[in-house]
């Protein structure tokens, strides 16, 4: 009822509709028409006894700038519509050429990641975690790397989001848990102090109904005792649905696996839930650690996290420690464990094994370790 004669709406498929406007003058009029449509479509619908609201999004493509052929034009409108959706519902968005390029880049990434999963191009790097009181290596964190056939070793910044968006994170995450357990088990068999293995688990993995089974079978397959595995979960992934997260955490705890909150302080934690969750450790994000000395916000926040951790009976692990000053500060505050470039970069197992061997028994006065030999293979350019 709100369209002019000559504007013909048609169902494109699913919940998508196409409206063609002819001779609408300039782009401003198209925007006005879109705005009007959004208003009308957002009105409440009564179905039976219930009220239903739709949250429409509109993409606008203009002939011939956005596409000279009908299929190109509709594809452009479609891309713009997804952009509108992504920037919040109930909006319209004009097509821009950049969207086309972005879509192509995403396709290329998706294709490369799928091939990477198929061909087993993922690796784990391991970074030691050191007890600040005794200098003992308490554990290592497993950090994912992608050995891209053309671009070399890439850090998660380049691909984690892609793995999540393309639905590959559960498969790769399962591989990470298994491989990390296998590797630490190998180190246990050498003559080292038995170390823990920290594994990052993303929000999507928490929704994987097979997660607990994957953890259990990784432990049985590798014959690793559960207390050596520590899952690192970010506070935002737990706080998205704290009740459900709590149930899952209790299941994990029942398996005997440890739980750490990663990037603590960067999200929003309800202190009530924090108290109720079966946790073992808090990890101070490196953003705070790197400003502890300079009298910036990092100092007070790190102190607060250490204090909170102590009071809740949790270990506190500082990540991203790069300088002696940061280390001394954290030690003075009572932080238990540190990891960072000051000690060692994340390394391949081949590089880390000799490092572990030569740093097994360090005294408190001798916690400075041999810097890693291969520094630049981590940058992932």
Which spans of this chain sit near Ca ion (rule: CB under 5 A)? 200, 232, 262-263, 285
Is the separation of the CB atoms in 339 and 319 below 8 Å?
A: yes
Q: Which of 202, 237, 269, 359 binds ligand C2E (CB under 6 A)?
A: 202
- Restricting to residues 103-142, name those near ligand C2E by CB under 6 A: 127
Nearest distance, CB of residue 360 and Ca ion, angstroms: 24
Of residues 228, 309, 301, the one with CA closest to residue 266: 301
Nearest distance, CB of residue 23 and Ca ion, angstroms: 55
Nearest distance, CB of residue 113 and ligand C2E, angstroms: 14
Query: What x/- string results for residues 310 through 329 when contact with ligand C2E is judged by CB under 6 A?
Result: ---------xxxx-------
Q: How far apart are CA 61 and CA 40, in angstroms?
A: 21
Whether the bond into 64 is cis, omega within 30 of 0: yes
If the CB atoms of residues 200 and 290 are measured against Ca ion, the closer one turns out to be: 200
Residue 202 binds which of Ca ion, ligand C2E, none (CB < 5-8 A, kind-dependent): ligand C2E
> Interface with ligand C2E includes 155 (CB under 6 A)?
yes
Nearest distance, CB of residue 359 and Ca ion, angstroms: 21
Query: What x/- string results for residues 168 through 197 when contact with ligand C2E is judged by CB under 6 A?
Result: -----x--x---------------------
Question: How long a stretch of residues is the chain?
Answer: 381
> Interface with ligand C2E includes 200 (CB under 6 A)?
yes
> Interface with ligand C2E includes 156 (CB under 6 A)?
yes
Is the separation of the CB atoms in 54 and 88 below 8 Å?
A: no
If the CB atoms of residues 100 and 155 are measured against ligand C2E, the closer one turns out to be: 155
Within 10 Å of residue 222's Cβ, how many Cβ atoms? Answer: 19
Query: What x/- string results for residues 16 through 35 when contact with ligand C2E is judged by CB under 6 A?
Result: --------------------
Q: How far apart are CA 203 and CA 368, in angstroms?
A: 35
If the CB atoms of residues 251 and 322 are measured against ligand C2E, the closer one turns out to be: 322
List helix spans (H) across the chain.
27-41, 70-86, 97-119, 160-165, 169-189, 203-206, 211-222, 235-239, 242-255, 271-276, 286-289, 298-311, 324-333, 349-358
Is the separation of the CB atoms in 112 and 118 below 8 Å?
A: no
- Quote the longest CA-to-CA distance of the chain: 85
Q: Which of 263, 315, 336, 347 binds ligand C2E (CB under 6 A)?
A: 263
Nearest distance, CB of residue 279 and Ca ion, angstroms: 14
Nearest distance, CB of residue 85 and ligand C2E, angstroms: 25
**Residues in binding contact with ligand C2E, number by CB under 6 A:** 23
Q: How far apart are CA 205 and CA 216, in angstroms?
A: 15
If you ran DSSP here, which 8-state letter would residue 367 be given?
A: -
Q: How far apart are CA 339 and CA 284, in angstroms?
A: 10
Q: How far apart are CA 298 and CA 285, in angstroms?
A: 10
Nearest distance, CB of residue 148 and ligand C2E, angstroms: 14
- Summarize as ranges the residues that interact with ligand C2E (CB under 6 A): 127, 143-144, 155-157, 160, 173, 176, 200-202, 232, 262-263, 286, 319-322, 340-341, 346
């Amino acid at each position: 009822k709100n369209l002019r004669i000559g504007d013909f709406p048609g169902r494109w498929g699913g919940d998508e509709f196409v409206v063609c406007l002819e001779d609408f003058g300039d782009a401003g009029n198209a925007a006005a028409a879109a705005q009007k449509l959004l208003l009308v479509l957002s009105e409440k619908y009564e179905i039976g006894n219930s009220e239903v609201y739709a949250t429409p999004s509109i993409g606008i493509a203009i002939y011939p700038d956005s596409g000279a052929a009908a299929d190109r034009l509709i594809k452009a409108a479609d891309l713009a519509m997804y952009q509108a959706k992504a920037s919040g519902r109930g909006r319209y968005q004009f097509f821009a050429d950049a969207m086309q390029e972005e879509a192509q880049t995403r396709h290329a990434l998706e294709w490369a990641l799928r091939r990477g999963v198929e061909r087993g191009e993922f690796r784990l790097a391991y970074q030691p975690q050191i007890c600040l009181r005794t200098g003992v290596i308490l554990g290592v964190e497993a950090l994912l790397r992608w050995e891209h056939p053309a671009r070399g070793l890439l850090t998660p910044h380049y691909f984690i989001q892609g793995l999540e968006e393309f639905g590959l994170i559960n498969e790769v995450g399962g591989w990470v848990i298994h491989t990390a357990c296998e590797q630490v088990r190998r180190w246990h068999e050498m003559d080292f102090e038995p170390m823990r293995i920290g594994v990052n688990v993303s929000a999507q993995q928490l929704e994987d109904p097979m997660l607990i089974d994957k953890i259990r079978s990784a432990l049985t397959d590798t014959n690793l005792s559960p207390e050596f595995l520590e899952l690192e979960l970010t506070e935002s992934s737990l706080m998205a649905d704290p009740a459900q997260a709590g149930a899952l955490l209790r299941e994990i705890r029942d398996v005997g696996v440890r739980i750490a909150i990663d990037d603590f302080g960067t999200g929003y934690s309800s202190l009530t839930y924090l108290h109720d969750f079966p946790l073992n450790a808090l990890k101070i994000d490196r953003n705070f650690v790197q400003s502890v000395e300079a009298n910036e916000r990092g100092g007070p926040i790190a102190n607060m996290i250490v204090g909170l951790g102590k009071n809740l009976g949790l270990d506190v692990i500082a990540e991203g420690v790069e300088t002696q000053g940061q280390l001394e500060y954290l030690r003075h505050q009572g932080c238990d464990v540190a990891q960072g470039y000051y000690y060692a970069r994340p390394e391949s197992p081949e590089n880390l094994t000799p490092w572990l061997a030569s740093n097994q028994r360090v005294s408190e006065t001798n916690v400075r370790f041999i810097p890693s030999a291969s520094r630049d293979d981590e940058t992932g350019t």
